[in-house]
Structure 1
Amino acid sequence: MKKHVMNLSLDSFEMIKFGTKTIEMRLYDEKRKKISKGDYIILF
């Protein structure tokens, strides 16, 4: 299991916190290709 850290804007964080945003989409680039099932994604 690996941890992957990704930035998240304050506006997006607040919307997720209050339930008005339920998904976060990212481009499937080289960084995201390294994510495997069971890994942790830390958004801050």
Structure 2
Amino acid sequence: MGFLLAENLFKLTQVPSITHIYREGNACADKLATSRQIILVNLLSFYRAP
């Protein structure tokens, strides 16, 4: 997942530093994962309420 994001970012920006792009891609994937977890937790707490 992170690598695909890195590849797409590299194509968009044309920055020569691949490690930088790869790091950006992983950070983006992490943000998506954490926001997904937050949404799941909110949904679960909503359904648990009487």
Give the TM-score, by structure 2 length. 0.26
Which has the higher Rg, Structure 1 or Structure 2? 2
Q: Which has the higher contact order (CA 8 A, sep 6+)?
A: 1
Give the TM-score, by structure 1 length. 0.29
Structure with higher helix content? 2
Structure with higher strand content? 1
